[in-house]
Amino acid sequence: MGRRRGTTKGDRRERAILDTARDLLSTTPVGRLTIDQLTAGAGISRSSFYFYFDSKTAVLEALLDEIAEEMVEAARRWLDGSGDDPDSLRHALEVSARLWREHGPLLRQALLAEDQEFASFRENVVARYVKEGAARIARDRQEGLAGPGPDPQSLAHALIRMKFAVFAADSSVEAVETLCAVVRRAMYGALPATGS
Amino acid sequence: MGRRRGTTKGDRRERAILDTARDLLSTTPVGRLTIDQLTAGAGISRSSFYFYFDSKTAVLEALLDEIAEEMVEAARRWLDGSGDDPDSLRHALEVSARLWREHGPLLRQALLAEDQEFASFRENVVARYVKEGAARIARDRQEGLAGPGPDPQSLAHALIRMKFAVFAADSSVEAVETLCAVVRRAMYGALPATGS
DNA sequence: GACAATACTCGACGCTGTGTTGAGTATTCC
DNA sequence: GGAATACTCAACACAGCGTCGAGTATTGTC
A102 with A152, same domain: the answer is yes
Domain count of the fold of chain A: 2
Q: What is the dihedral of CA A163, A164, A170, A175, to 10 degrees?
A: 10
pLDDT at B113 over 80: yes
In a domain, A194, yes or no: no
What residues of chain B lie within 8 A of the CB of A113, using their CB?
108-109, 112-113, 115
Which residues are bridge partners to B190 per DSSP?
A190
In a domain, A78, yes or no: yes
Query: From the list B29, B145, B189, which residue is nearest A185 (CB)?
Result: B189
In a domain, B57, yes or no: no
What one-character-per-residue DSSP string does A138-180 give?
A: HHHHHTTSS---S-HHHHHHHHHHHHHHHHHH--SHHHHHHHH
Contacts of the segment B62-68: beta carbons below 8 A, 24+ positions apart: B62/B18, B63/B18, B63/B21, B63/B22, B63/B25, B63/B103, B63/B106, B64/B106, B64/B107, B64/B110, B64/B118, B64/B121, B67/B99, B67/B103, B67/B106, B67/B107, B68/B121, B68/B124, B68/B125
B137 with B82, same domain: the answer is yes
pLDDT at A83 over 90: yes
B93 with B135, same domain: the answer is yes
Domain of A122 in residue numbering reads as 61-188
B46 with B139, same domain: the answer is no
Q: A139 CA to chain B: closest CA distance, Å? A: 14
pLDDT at A194 over 70: no
Please state the separation of Cα A102 from the chain's center in Å. 11
What pLDDT does residue A117 have?
84
A94 with A122, same domain: the answer is yes
> Rounded mean pLDDT of chain B?
90
pLDDT at A11 over 50: yes
The Cα B11–Cα B3 span in angstroms is 9
- Give the gyration radius of chain B's Cα atoms: 20
Rounded distance in angstroms from the CA atom of residue B4 to the C1' atom of nucleotide D30: 20
Rounded distance in angstroms from the CA atom of residue B34 to the C1' atom of nucleotide C23: 37
A95 with A24, same domain: the answer is no
In a domain, B113, yes or no: yes
**Side-chain half-sphere CA neighbours of B83 within 13 A:** 7
Q: Nearest-CA residue of chain A relative to B196?
A: A83
Contact A85, A78 (CB under 8 A): yes
B17 with B90, same domain: the answer is no
For residue A195, give the nearest of B92, B134, B180, B173 by alpha carbon.
Answer: B180
DSSP letter for A45, please: -
A22 with A93, same domain: the answer is no
* Amino acid found at A32: R
A71 with A136, same domain: the answer is yes
Which residues are bridge partners to A190 per DSSP?
B190
In a domain, B58, yes or no: no
Mean pLDDT value across residues A44-59: 93
Helix (H) or strand (E) holding B57: helix B56-80
In a domain, B16, yes or no: yes
A80 with A123, same domain: the answer is yes
In a domain, A2, yes or no: no
Instruction: Summarize pLDDT for B55-71 with one digit per residue, the tens.
Output: 999 999 999 988 988 99
B153 with B174, same domain: the answer is yes
In a domain, A164, yes or no: yes
Whole-Å CA distances, A31 to A100, A147, B65, B86 = 18, 45, 23, 40
Q: What is the CATH number of the domain that holds A36?
A: 1.10.10.60
**CB within 8 Å: B195 and A116:** no
Please state the separation of Cα B160 from the chain's center in Å. 10
The Cα B41–Cα B44 span in angstroms is 8
What pLDDT does residue B33 have?
94
B116 with B184, same domain: the answer is yes
Instruction: Summarize pLDDT for B123-146 with one digit per residue, the tens.
Output: 889 999 999 999 999 999 999 999
